[in-house]
Amino acid sequence: MNAFIDQLYNVLLPLSGPDGLSRLFYMLFPYFLLLELPLNVLVVIGVLRWFVRKRTSIPKSSLYQPKVSCIITCYSEGMDVQTTLLSLCEQTYPGHIEMIPVVDGATVNQLTLHAVRDFQVNKELYPRRYLRPIAKWQRGGRVSSLNAGLAHASGEIVMALDGDTSFDNNMVSAIVRHFADPSVPAVAGSLRVRNAWTSMTTAVQALEYLLSIHMSKIGLSEWNLVNNVSGAFGAFRRSFLVKIGGWNTHTAEDLDLTLRIKSYFKRHKLRIPFEPEAVGHTDAPATFQQFLMQRLRWDGDLFFLYIRKHHHSINPGLLGWSTFLMVLVGGFFFQLVLPFIILGYTFLAIFVLPVSTFLILFALVYLLYLMITALMFALMLLMVSDRPRKDLRLGLLVPIFPLFMLVMRCWSAVAMLNEAFRRGHEESSMAPWWVLKKATRF
């Protein structure tokens, strides 16, 4: 133990000297140079490729119009679920759409149950829209609701949607056309923050959704590397979904299902596209405390899935080499390792470096990430955004976005420690405790 302390002292002592800044910089920079920068470049090249292809290709009309079943998981949305149902009724898709709102815990969730029962589909205005509500009287959680909806779904395409999410009226048409390709088992849709200017917290999340989710998925989709099909908005081929057993228990069912689908990539040459024209609008946590609690669950779930549940299936024999490497870099390193590196260097700089040296280092790192954020935001406005005037206002938040991401990276480390030592996924509000406790432990 004393030998370890002596070695640690010998490493830290030079950092407090006059050349401590350069030493710390050279220790920090390779992680960004070797891993983080190439991933950003991969996304940018993918976006450029998508942009050129979109501008030069001739739009194709598709005669593929299968029946679509929309499973809408409802718990405490109240009257907001009617907005979701109406947005599905008003889809321009010429085929049949079956709406299956599943009210979980209907015994106590009376407001949402009445909102679903009171909703009427006008057959003259919406002749190919059908409402098939399901009341689950005992609460079983989100996965239970999804599988109940799947058991009653009759459409060839199944969509998993949140009860508080509304959609652009071309959403179904934009997503369904991908399923004309038999190698597509799932399609990821895009999400925007509906209450973007309710608070500073929601505004920053709106920018995060555009840069870290919407734009990144466009770039990654060009290389068939989409990391996740969102639980709030995703579409699946029903036959494939039934074949692999539907959704699985525990929390983070969206990433769990995505990883299970990807385990067939090597054997069946599958792909998961991202459709940027299929846009859903959801409400983000309005207060910073609510936001932190949401990410405590989200980021802790990453540790649970990658380390505890899916460690055996993450190999190139199942995923294929490109997907395997992406999971290693984008999953393990960026989501599990990098937060601890950033948290460690932050504490190291605070407690070891002189104040002036720390401030200089902080300013350099901040300016570096500010340049990257500004570049990504400019590319998003010029090539990706379908609402550039509306999104331009979010540019006011670009200067604080690197600080926001620093806080989130450090909080991710806290979330993973919470999962590692306290099994935080078993405290999730996505399912009652007795469902999580009875599930197989990993």
| Digitized pLDDT (tens) for each residue of the chain, 442 residues in all | 565 555 555 555 555 555 555 665 555 554 555 667 888 899 999 999 999 998 888 777 778 999 999 999 998 888 999 999 999 999 999 999 999 999 998 888 899 999 999 999 999 999 999 999 999 988 888 899 999 999 999 999 999 999 989 999 999 999 999 999 999 999 999 999 999 999 999 999 999 999 988 999 999 999 999 999 998 899 999 999 999 999 986 678 899 999 999 999 998 989 999 999 999 999 999 999 999 999 998 998 888 889 888 888 889 999 999 999 999 888 888 889 889 988 888 888 788 777 877 887 788 888 888 999 999 999 999 999 999 999 999 999 999 999 999 999 999 999 999 988 887 766 666 666 556 666 555 5
CA atoms within 13 A on the CB side of 246: 15
Would you say 308 and 250 are in contact if contact means Cβ atoms under 8 Å apart?
no
| 99, 194: one domain | yes
Whether 439 maps to a domain, the answer reads: no
| 200, 261: one domain | yes
| 208, 300: one domain | yes
Whether 310 maps to a domain, the answer reads: no
As for how many domains the chain has, the answer is: 2
Whether 438 maps to a domain, the answer reads: no
Segments forming the whole domain that contains residue 130: 62-305
| 286, 257: one domain | yes
pLDDT of residue 354: 79
Residues in the chain: 442
Whether 77 maps to a domain, the answer reads: yes
Whether 315 maps to a domain, the answer reads: no
| 78, 17: one domain | no
Q: Last residue of a domain, which of 247, 274, 305?
A: 305
Whether 146 maps to a domain, the answer reads: yes
Say which CATH number the domain at 205 has.
Answer: 3.90.550.10
Amino acid at residue number 116: V
| 45, 68: one domain | no
| 281, 165: one domain | yes
| 194, 235: one domain | yes
Provide CB contacts within 8 A for 231, sequence distance 6+: 142, 160, 162, 252, 253, 254
| 82, 205: one domain | yes
| 26, 96: one domain | no
**Cα 382 from Cα 50, distance rounded (Å):** 13
**Cα 192 from Cα 209, distance rounded (Å):** 6
CA atoms within 13 A on the CB side of 299: 24
Would you say 412 and 332 are in contact if contact means Cβ atoms under 8 Å apart?
no
pTM reported for the whole predicted model: 0.89
Whether 359 maps to a domain, the answer reads: yes
| 131, 204: one domain | yes
pLDDT of residue 125: 93
Whether 441 maps to a domain, the answer reads: no
| 367, 394: one domain | yes
**Cα 398 from Cα 366, distance rounded (Å):** 12
